[in-house]
Structure 1
Amino acid sequence: MASILSGFSNSYAQSKLISLNEQWKFSKDQTSAEKPSSGLNWQNLSIPHTWNAEDVIDDTPGYYRGTGWYKRKLKLDVSLKNKEVFLVFYGVNQEAEVYVNGKSAGKHIGGYTGFTVPVSRLLNHQDDEIQVRVTNQFNEDIAPLTADFTFFGGIYRNVDLLITEPVHFARNDHGSNPGIYMTTPEVSEGKARVQVKSLIENASAAAEKVQVQNELIDQQGLVIATAFTDLVIPAGQTITAVQEFKNISSPHLWSPENPYLYRIISKIITRKTNRTLDQVSSPLGFRWFRFDAEKGFFLNGQPLKLIGASRHQDYMGMGNAVPDVLQLRDVELLKKMGGNFLRVAHYPQDPQILEACDRLGILASVEIPVVNTITESAAFTQNCKQMQQEMIRQNFNHPSVVIWAYMNEILLRPKFADDKIRQAVYFKHIVELAQTLDSLTRKEDPSRYTMIANHGAFDSYHKIGLTKIPMIVGWNLYSGWYSGNIADFGQFLDRHHQELADKPMLVTEYGADADPRIRSFSPVRFDKSLEYAIRFNQVYLNDIIKRPFVSGAMVWNLADFNSETREETMPHINNKGLLTLGREPKDSYFLYQAYLLHKPFLKIASAAWKNRTGIAGSARLFATQPVQVMTNMKTAELFLNGKSLGMKEAVDHVCVWQVPFVNGLNKLRAAAENSTDELETDFKLQPFNLTDGLVPFDEVNILMGAKRFYINETTHQIWMPDQPYRKGGWGYIGGEAYKGTNNRMSYGSDKNILDTDQDPVYQTQQVGIKQFRFDVPDGEYELCLHFAELTGGAAKESLAYNLDNNHQKEEVKQRIFSVYINGETFLENLNLAADYGYTTAVKKKTRVTVSGGKGISLDFKAINGIPVLNALQLRKIY
């Protein structure tokens, strides 16, 4: 390994920050020892890294929450012996201890804020070794305790080596980098004033006379103003210098439309030799803002409706160890959507996120991960205070940040529900913690607002006083999803305005699951279809936009994210994102572009639905299905294979046509004014009559008990809803669609189906089915039946977020039945639970020879209990 900074010049003008992401070794340590136990199996890797990228998406409950060790050789040039050396960590979840050459250099608690460890005194400048002990195991004194996201372990953000002169800007003020804090006490269109507070540290054994210099530089590189202060820094001490730029005339104002950034160049210059000891650059944006309980949010004196998204930091296949380019792309996608606000949830994220917000003009809130519940201990409170201070000081200089927050849905499932006296004490401690964090925040940064995000239990939060403490009340509202009806949303907003008339509000969360593989022409709550999500977001956006007292709203979520405890159609994933976990846009993303963009926008909504299927109309060679086009223009026209289907007026930014799809390739083109969009759809036309020859029968995939389509993204197979039997066609006879044991599901189950990654195939079923018929012509066919026992299995605690998830006790009855094909036994005495286990995919395939015009008839005979069928496929061989 080559030495780092060989020949480092003593006249070098500023601190040096060098990436240390490469050449690490890692091993899990089940013993959780204070030193690496012998016999560990080390693997080579680079940072960022998490040890949970894979085990959070398997079917085994839980994921590794324990200890891991990282180590790396560090060869520093001998010329650095007189320098100060630090290790800078930007995110380690959640407890870390750093060792240098076997000696402890520092510890850190909390997985979402950075920390800096001084290591100069422990280096030998020969063959130094860094070791980092990391654990993400549960600790009741460290937030978050429980949440709807996965607590990935590891060194999952970048690691840097920082080298400075003994006299330098203090890099370790609650992990801040570089220890410079800027405020704009006065800003208007005519003039502005800037205050710069610098922390200067002298790690040498002698006092040092220095000059602290700050330059204000515009985007053209011109120096607008300069400030100088002479200081004497005592040995081994840190002092504070405060400087001001007064009367900055006609400043360029920072806004989403014009995110103009100045720079402050800060220098420490020794008076002995006039040499620069340290130099750093910080962004500066001139803006002023206020939240008004009656009129909403104002930026630079103008009203601005804040609409954007919340963000989690994980990515498909990577966990939370996401490279820089993909993190930055998230903010770019939010800007491209037309959003002007990012709720950095539920924890501080990589520093580059807010840097991108500054650059792109995205306003932001940031919060610490006090989610769902607290621990009533002094240690928990102290750790929360530390997180809040670190969050504020590490992100202080970002003009994009307007809100610091510190609690989320803290009364969602409160402790001591069976002991009201004890619960009252618990509530008192929550309020005390909230007041402590709010007071700390206002003292740390009087220029920004404080906020708590509550779930929709208005009375609960108001009764114990949590609506009174923060400057802004945030509401996470899911009427029409987790609870209630979609019309309740607007009524809730009005109630806040009536009962908390002096308190500004934000809708900090709202959303509906949208599995990108599921479509429906009759969308209903909890079907996970993109179509339901579109309608849900239309209603919410309309209610938000038309109420001026709603300062803004953040859809939950910008992208799908990992939540290991979730099951549903895509297990371990929360599907409320406008983007997939791999950041592919869903139809709902296009809807937001239609609502928010100011330039002409036109998009065929089903851009990812490039393979469709449907049954031809009687004696017709086409199947009619709806197609949605998102636009911010009043009207649009749609063409199919060059033929106009007419003009349509946009209703809530969506135009809808009934499109007669033909078998094979269908070319769609939407047009409005000077904008166009095109989509090619491969349509698999199913015959209305299986034997008349108008449309040849090839294959069909059918979901039983369903009203939704499902697209297998791997095989490109399209599954369609079932139907009652119709002579000449196909369908079921007898039974009804399965309904789960809770009130929220209109049909089907949301349980994780084992032994498959195609859960929607097995999550619906026809219960009590008597027969299924295919009136196919004579020939050879492959038939495949799919089963899963949806009732029974291990009892699991329902997600706290499903507010009206009133489970009935599942009565597990024995289910044994036989299946016959054209009178011949196919499956005899099938017992799904006993033979295969609960919620386990069962696939039974066979060949069927059809002759004599009999078609295919499946008969289900009950032996004990009621027969079921989840799905079936039929493919003609010849």
Structure 2
Amino acid sequence: MNIIFKQLINLGCIACLFFSSSVHAQTVLDGRVSVDFSSNWKFRKEEASTDRIVKQKQREEIVDLPHTWNIADVMDDKPGYYRGATQYHNILYWKTAWQNKRIVLHVGAANQEATVFVNGKQVKAHIGGYTAFNVDITDYLNRRVNGKNTIVIQVTNRFNQDIAPLSGDFTFLGGIYRKVSLLLLDQIHFADPVYGSSGLRVNAKIDSSENATINLDGAIQNASASQQAIVIETTLMDADGVAVKKVQQKENLKPHSQHNFQLNIAEIEQPRLWSPDLPYLYRLITRIYDSNGRQLDHLDNSVGFRWFSFHPEKGFFLNGKPLKLVGASRHQDFKGMGNAVPDTLQIQDLVKLKAMGGNFLRVAHYPQDPAILKACDSLGLLASVEIPLVNEITESSTFAANSFQMQKEMIRQYFNHPSIIIWGYMNEIFLRPHFPKDKERQEKYFKSVVSLAEKLEALTRAEDTTRYTMIANHGNFDLYHRTGLTKVPMLVGWNLYPGWYGGKIADFGKQLEHIHQQLPEKPLLVTEYGADADYRIHSDKPVRFDKSIEYAIRYHQGYLNDILRKAFVAGGVAWNLSDFNSETREESMPHINTKGLLTWDRKAKDSYFLYQAYLKKAPFVKIGGTFGKKWAVRTEPDRALIGSGWLKLPIFSNADSVELLLDGISLGVSKPVDRMILWPVNLSRGLHTVKAQAFHNGKLSSVDEMVMDCEVLPYDLKKDKDWQELRINVGDNREYIDSMENRWFPDQPYERGSWGYLKGEKYRLKNTGRENLGTDVNIRGTGDDPLFQTQLQGLESYRFDLPNGNYEVELFFAELDGPNDKENLLYDLEQREKKQEKKGIDRVFDIRIGGHALAADLNVLREAGAFRGLRRKFQVKVHDDGNLVISFIPKKGEPILNAIRLKKINQSVNP
């Protein structure tokens, strides 16, 4: 059986077993038992957010964990989301079988401050929303038979200047968003009450001669009142369950104390190595026995033997062989779930990353569910993990202490995963520098950041001598280098976006060369790069910031080429594996960062297929996809086509050549350029079958086939009699797929015999140096923002040369020149210092067809408000002259139009 497949089955079984136990029906065996305590919690908000709702007594609801209270409010049209206090409480009934046990509450994660109360008494407070913590609640419990115990966990995700993250391009979703369990432990057990780990550190070492050892470093708690003699036993087993080595060691424990120990397994001969191609895992079972041979506790860890290094000129090496690290970063939220995502779905993210051909995961910008690292171990994905010091710090001893605690918790809780090769602790920390108007004070701030980095670096190296350390910086090389921050970590990561937030795609390679020349002694990793790719937006002429899938493809091609060709670049990490929630973002898809290779609900975009073509070793060919009901085909004015038109079909492949067949007829053979072909195809309205056949060395190697349902946008509406509906995104040169999966076509100026607008200027943001299409402000009251974010201003009319008949016309408006307090996107460095114009225009106009008034004195701002969609629908009849002219008559200011839909009501009507 394939080793990856086998280990994934084991991973799934372990996850199911771990959470299958019930707190009400549990057989307590010798040693450690984990009981799921995630059901039937009563939840309520402790206070109302004053900027959203009137203070009132919050209702209580029954929830299961994982849970977040921010699923809905991060996606609505109201700025902000609930960041405040909440309470979870549950009842625990004492079992007689627990009489000699320690009861430890294990909380997987609670964002971001949590306080645990048992029967009204505070037991523990935990700071930080991304790591687990343990609470021994035994001595606070009512231990009579069926004794009732009230467990309360107060949680708040309020802003706290002493807790990272302070800001970031992601949402700080509140909740107990990972599982909660009860650990039923013997009086003698492995323990780490301070940092939340299992209490056992497994350090598997192997050198270039493949001499392997395992060093165990552990802590044992003796909660009993007597001295105890114990035996620690650890057994290494191979993937088939065969014991490789067993070692025992005696220890004497003092009463009511914690005992630290070390245990080594030496001379492990010629172990099988762990790598992305063959992620071979051993299993290490470590037990505690009392003097009578009774098992008191046990821990089960995966072990992977590998060695690795980074070289500033030659890149990354694993097990002595060069390996280019290519993969993606990951945020942990999922559509409709926030951060409260079950393990099964989280693991699927890693399966998709592996299927993409990736070999590296940047766990950003915070530690994530242990299931993620377990999946990395099993699948063969190398990983970096970091704490959430993002954009800025607070210059306080409390902030520093909390950061140190986070770093130690991360390292100790995740240390045993062989997939991890890097610990990180800062990301773009100078992106939001404090004191911008006081340069002297700002320099002091920079020194504070560097000082904190130096302390975190020292802490990390003291905790773990086997991994590399890393800080990820944004593209302002001179600032990071001048302040000395680039000297601190072992690796320097760079989040680079030329061709997106500023500059050109071609600038990326030049920037890499510059960084390497200025910092030749440091290994270089590209820790972020990406372009927004709203899966609903397509363009034949993609430009920067148009949010189209096509521009993102062009962007990733340029970046991948440079990353793969430059030996000194250890690797590149796309931002991001999937789209994710960022409540403060607006743009084409409000509250979502759309740079993912997958959508928020994990559907593959064409950019994902591009990575497969670049990275997969097996033969690969894939026809690009569409998320709408139909494919868009457009008739061009210089081609005499009726009922058919042209589209450029994207095909992704690592093959030498690809043959395309349309409805069984070959359209010839073409060679991929940068792993892609844009194949011009003439298609008529209706269903067609396309098949792509890839050839390697002259032999057929892979095939992909698709049935396409084509919708034709005609140029001549009179000659093409089979069209039923036209949907035009006015003022836009992109195609858009709406929430009903209907496709809206680009606008065009009117030409005789066709359709389009007369006069009018496309709306553009003022005071911007980037290419842009319309506004980047959230349009309230709609999920189809791109329909309303572009418009024509000052248009005279919109004209259709039509057959006689009855039609329905729907006009779409939004006032884009209304007052706007939206801040420029923090990450758009080119625009951050520029102020957008904030004005209110009171425009009034009539809409007429010939002598008939459809609307009089239309004032979009007064009727709908600024940045809010308005629709008007009319029934019209075309006769005699065979054309429809919708006129916009200005009375005050310039008329506007954002989109137009024209639908036939019947096929033919006599004039």
Identify the residue that residue 463 of structure 2 maps to in structure 1: 444
Identify the residue that residue 758 of structure 1 maps to in structure 2: 784
Alpha-carbon distance in structure 2 between the residues aligned to 1:546 and 1:348:
31
Alignment of 1:39-50 (within 5 A): 40-50=58-68
Structure 1 residue 796 displacement after superposition? 1.9
User: Aligned partner of 1:737: which letter?
Assistant: K
Given candidates 186, 211, 236, the residue that maps to 1:191 is 211
Instruction: Indicate yes or no: 2:93 matched with 1:95.
Output: no
1:410-440 deviations in whole A, cap 9, x for unaligned? 1112111111011111111111111111110
1:162-211 deviations in whole A, cap 9, x for unaligned? 011111111424000x2111113443453211111121110111111001
Alignment of 1:602-613 (within 5 A): 602-608=621-627, 611-613=630-632
Structure 1 residue 24 displacement after superposition? 1.1
Contact 1:609 1:681 in 2 (8 A): no
Identify the residue that residue 657 of structure 1 maps to in structure 2: 679
Contact 2:812 2:872 in 1 (8 A): yes
Given candidates 486, 496, 506, the residue that maps to 2:525 is 506
Alpha-carbon distance in structure 1 between the residues aligned to 2:784 and 2:56:
42
Identify the residue that residue 356 of structure 2 maps to in structure 1: 337
Given candidates 27, 32, 41, the residue that maps to 2:44 is 27
Identify the residue that residue 627 of structure 1 maps to in structure 2: 649
Give the SS at the match of 1:93.
coil
Structure 1 residue 779 displacement after superposition? 0.8
Contact 1:743 1:807 in 2 (8 A): no
Instruction: Indicate yes or no: 2:178 matched with 1:160.
Output: no
Structure 1 residue 512 displacement after superposition? 0.4
Instruction: Indicate yes or no: 2:818 matched with 1:799.
Output: no
Structure 1 residue 620 displacement after superposition? 1.6
Alpha-carbon distance in structure 1 between the residues aligned to 2:811 and 2:280:
62
Given candidates 753, 757, 774, the residue that maps to 1:732 is 757
User: Does 556-565 or 666-675 show the bigger shift?
Assistant: 666-675
Structure 1 residue 614 displacement after superposition? 3.4
Identify the residue that residue 549 of structure 1 maps to in structure 2: 568
Instruction: Indicate yes or no: 2:718 matched with 1:691.
Output: yes
Structure 1 residue 863 displacement after superposition? 1.6
Query: Which 5+ residue runs of structure 1 have no aligned equivalent?
Result: none
Structure 1 residue 31 displacement after superposition? 7.2
Alignment of 1:477-876 (within 5 A): 477-608=496-627, 611-617=630-636, 618-621=639-642, 622-672=644-694, 673-692=700-719, 694-712=720-738, 714-741=739-766, 742-805=768-831, 806-876=834-904
Contact 2:543 2:771 in 1 (8 A): no
CA gap of 1:678–1:83, structure 2 versus 1, over 3 A, is same
Identify the residue that residue 10 of structure 2 maps to in structure 1: none
Alpha-carbon distance in structure 2 between the residues aligned to 1:3 and 1:547:
54
Give the SS at the match of 1:425.
helix
Query: Which 5+ residue runs of structure 2 have no aligned equivalent?
Result: 1-20, 50-54, 695-699, 907-911
Alpha-carbon distance in structure 1 between the residues aligned to 2:90 and 2:455:
40
User: Does 673-682 or 510-519 show the bigger shift?
Assistant: 673-682
Give the SS at the match of 1:576.
coil
User: Does 60-69 or 166-175 show the bigger shift?
Assistant: 166-175
Identify the residue that residue 237 of structure 1 maps to in structure 2: 257
1:687-712 deviations in whole A, cap 9, x for unaligned? 332223x4433210001111110112
Alpha-carbon distance in structure 2 between the residues aligned to 1:7 and 1:638:
60
Alpha-carbon distance in structure 2 between the residues aligned to 1:84 and 1:687:
75
Structure 1 residue 822 displacement after superposition? 2.3
Alpha-carbon distance in structure 2 between the residues aligned to 1:590 and 1:764:
30
Structure 1 residue 102 displacement after superposition? 1.1
Given candidates 109, 117, 131, the residue that maps to 2:127 is 109
CA gap of 1:155–1:427, structure 2 versus 1, over 3 A, is same
Contact 1:6 1:79 in 2 (8 A): no
1:621-656 deviations in whole A, cap 9, x for unaligned? 320110110001111011111121111110000012
Structure 1 residue 609 displacement after superposition? 5.2
1:517-563 deviations in whole A, cap 9, x for unaligned? 11111111111110000000000000000001000111000000000
Alpha-carbon distance in structure 2 between the residues aligned to 1:207 and 1:491:
66
Contact 1:648 1:656 in 2 (8 A): no
Given candidates 481, 489, 495, the residue that maps to 1:476 is 495
Identify the residue that residue 135 of structure 1 maps to in structure 2: 156
RMSD between aligned residues: 1.6
Give the SS at the match of 1:82.
coil
User: Aligned partner of 1:727: which letter?
Assistant: R
Given candidates 175, 179, 192, the residue that maps to 2:196 is 175
Instruction: Return the TM-score normalized by structure 2.
Output: 0.93
Instruction: Indicate yes or no: 2:103 matched with 1:85.
Output: yes
Structure 1 residue 3 displacement after superposition? 8.9
1:474-527 deviations in whole A, cap 9, x for unaligned? 000111101111111001110111110000011000000011111111111111
CA gap of 1:189–1:609, structure 2 versus 1, over 3 A, is farther
User: Aligned partner of 2:798: which letter?
Assistant: F
User: Aligned partner of 2:479: which letter?
Assistant: S
Given candidates 72, 79, 87, the residue that maps to 2:90 is 72
Alpha-carbon distance in structure 2 between the residues aligned to 1:415 and 1:799:
17
Give the SS at the match of 1:583.
coil
Contact 2:727 2:902 in 1 (8 A): yes
Contact 2:718 2:802 in 1 (8 A): yes
Alpha-carbon distance in structure 1 between the residues aligned to 2:890 and 2:542:
33
1:824-848 deviations in whole A, cap 9, x for unaligned? 2222222222332111101011000
Contact 1:7 1:79 in 2 (8 A): no
Alpha-carbon distance in structure 2 between the residues aligned to 1:786 and 1:5:
58
Give the SS at the match of 1:467.
helix
Contact 1:3 1:77 in 2 (8 A): no
User: Aligned partner of 1:142: which letter?
Assistant: I
Structure 1 residue 241 displacement after superposition? 1.4
Contact 2:47 2:58 in 1 (8 A): no
Instruction: Return the TM-score normalized by structure 1.
Output: 0.97
Alpha-carbon distance in structure 2 between the residues aligned to 1:40 and 1:64:
13
Alpha-carbon distance in structure 1 between the residues aligned to 2:721 and 2:631:
16
Contact 2:204 2:214 in 1 (8 A): yes
Contact 1:730 1:774 in 2 (8 A): yes
User: Does 790-799 or 624-633 show the bigger shift?
Assistant: 790-799
Instruction: Indicate yes or no: 2:240 matched with 1:220.
Output: yes
Instruction: Indicate yes or no: 2:396 matched with 1:377.
Output: yes
CA gap of 1:425–1:8, structure 2 versus 1, over 3 A, is same
Give the SS at the match of 1:155.
coil
Identify the residue that residue 266 of structure 1 maps to in structure 2: 286
Give the SS at the match of 1:421.
helix
User: Does 406-415 or 181-190 show the bigger shift?
Assistant: 181-190
Aligned residue pairs, count: 867
Alpha-carbon distance in structure 2 between the residues aligned to 1:552 and 1:76:
53
Contact 1:13 1:279 in 2 (8 A): no
Identify the residue that residue 877 of structure 1 maps to in structure 2: 905
Structure 1 residue 610 displacement after superposition? 5.1
User: Aligned partner of 1:863: which letter?
Assistant: K
Given candidates 256, 261, 280, the residue that maps to 2:276 is 256
Give the SS at the match of 2:816.
coil
Give the SS at the match of 2:614.
helix
Contact 1:814 1:865 in 2 (8 A): yes
Structure 1 residue 381 displacement after superposition? 0.4
Alpha-carbon distance in structure 2 between the residues aligned to 1:47 and 1:189:
47
Structure 1 residue 607 displacement after superposition? 4.9
User: Does 216-225 or 825-834 show the bigger shift?
Assistant: 825-834
1:567-614 deviations in whole A, cap 9, x for unaligned? 011100000000000000000000000000000111001254551233
Give the SS at the match of 1:428.
helix
User: Does 790-799 or 98-107 show the bigger shift?
Assistant: 790-799
User: Aligned partner of 1:279: which letter?
Assistant: H
1:691-734 deviations in whole A, cap 9, x for unaligned? 23x4433210001111110112x423210001111111101111
Alpha-carbon distance in structure 2 between the residues aligned to 1:664 and 1:79:
69
